[in-house]
Amino acid sequence: MKSLLFLLIATFWFGCSNSNSTQTSTYISSEEINFEVDTLATGLDHPWGMAFLPDGRILIAERPGRLSIWEDGQLSDSPVSGLPEIWVRGQGGLLDVELHPDYENNQMIYLAFAKQGDDGGSTAIARGRLTGNELQDTEVIFHARPHTGAGHHFGSRIVFDDHGYLYTTLGDRGVMQTSQDLSSHNGAIIRLYDDGSVPQDNPFAGEEEGLPEIWSYGHRNIQGMKLHPETRELWAVEHGPKGGDEINRIHKGGNYGWPEVTHGVNYDGTVITPDTTKPGMIDPILHWTPSIAPCGMDFVDSDLYQGWEGNMMVAALANHHIHRVVFSDTTVVHTEKLLEGMARFRTVEQGPDGYLYVLTESPGLFFRIVPR
């Protein structure tokens, strides 16, 4: 459907970009394909994550603590009830939503959210059984420590791998040195069983030097993570400070360097470290300076997008665009900005129907990209 908002966006876009069609066309031209923005919902409040239910409904996590349902072409008036108590503070709130790999049999969904605890709060993971519009038997299965009163760098993404392990990203909570402290969850990716227990083959399980849940560390604030559709490896995009945003391929036990190495500087321009690489620390596959503020991302493996196959799509808050990244094996060979200036892009995800679905904030939109 075409909303008035889309028509305003289209008027702006077609007046400012090259197009092989007239001003009144609904086609947007990119380097490889023409496409159309199909607006599905407006008026969302800081939408952060989405999950696709087998019955065609789509769950949308909104940061102030609302888990909305998109069904029958519109947002339902009845959001999901039964959520855990959510600590809404700064960048914290209800963040990501993901289905259990065996959802069709167990109806379990997982939430990443900010949870209050002693002396502040931190990122937590809860799960519950979705029955209609209600989450039942809700339980918190993980709560990162230490807690802090800071309102930023919560991380947030949830990914299940092909073996049913659950991965979650955790920001450094604004205390950068904690990313190198293995007695802290902050600045790490953690790996759990689906009930929150710890796999004994985690790199620090049974070791004195680190928390058993940690899978990788030295991260600043990862807000995008997915499995590669072919290699099935875990990839992530990470916020740097002023400059130094990163794409990383995640390795077991890997140290990704923050804040010992970075391509960025403090927001006031002062130097964090002169080092951009060190022995024993993993260099990014790509870094962005100036920052694009990368958030949710996904790989394109749908045959609907001829010319975008294998590309990474990254939602970018800065410069308000989707960043298309082209690879040759694991080397970045080209990038393109799509829909620049439209909105602050929070996440992009390929749905089970093969279309790319997008959430933005300021304004809060939900749309899909339809090739033409």
Residue 358, φ and ψ in degrees, nearest 5: -135, 140
Alpha-carbon torsion 228, 232, 233, 238, what sign? positive
CB 155 within 8 A of CB 173: no
pLDDT grade for 208, boundaries at 50, 70 and 90: confident
Provide the pLDDT for residue 26: 59
Provide the pLDDT for residue 25: 37
**What pLDDT digit, counting tens, does each position of 156-168 carry?**
999 999 999 999 9
| Helix or strand holding residue 5 (H, E) | helix 4-16
The yes-or-no verdict on residue 16 having pLDDT over 90 is no
The yes-or-no verdict on residue 3 having pLDDT over 80 is no
Provide the pLDDT for residue 209: 87
Whether 153 is a known active-site residue: answer yes
Percent of the chain clearing pLDDT 70 (strictly above): 93
Provide the pLDDT for residue 27: 84
The yes-or-no verdict on residue 258 having pLDDT over 80 is yes
Provide the pLDDT for residue 1: 40
* SS3 label, residue 271: coil
Question: What span, in angstroms and rounded, lies between the C-alpha atoms of 129 and 109?
Answer: 6
- Among the options 46, 100, 147, 153, which is catalytic? 153
User: Token digits for 182?
Assistant: 């293995």
Task: Output the pTM of the full model.
Answer: 0.93
Question: What span, in angstroms and rounded, lies between the C-alpha atoms of 266 and 259?
Answer: 11
What mean pLDDT value characterizes the chain? 93
Mean pLDDT of 289-310: 97
Provide the pLDDT for residue 308: 98
CB 170 within 8 A of CB 157: no
The yes-or-no verdict on residue 7 having pLDDT over 70 is no
Q: What is the DSSP letter of 217?
A: B
Percent of the chain clearing pLDDT 90 (strictly above): 91
**What pLDDT digit, counting tens, does each position of 139-185 carry?**
999 999 999 999 999 999 999 999 999 999 999 999 999 999 999 99
Q: Which residue from 157, 327, 301, 298 is spatially nearest to 230, judged by alpha carbons?
A: 301
* Domains of the chain, each with CATH number or no CATH: 4-371 (2.120.10.30)
Mean pLDDT of 251-270: 98
Question: What span, in angstroms and rounded, lies between the C-alpha atoms of 202 and 199?
Answer: 6
CB 96 within 8 A of CB 158: yes
The yes-or-no verdict on residue 11 having pLDDT over 90 is no
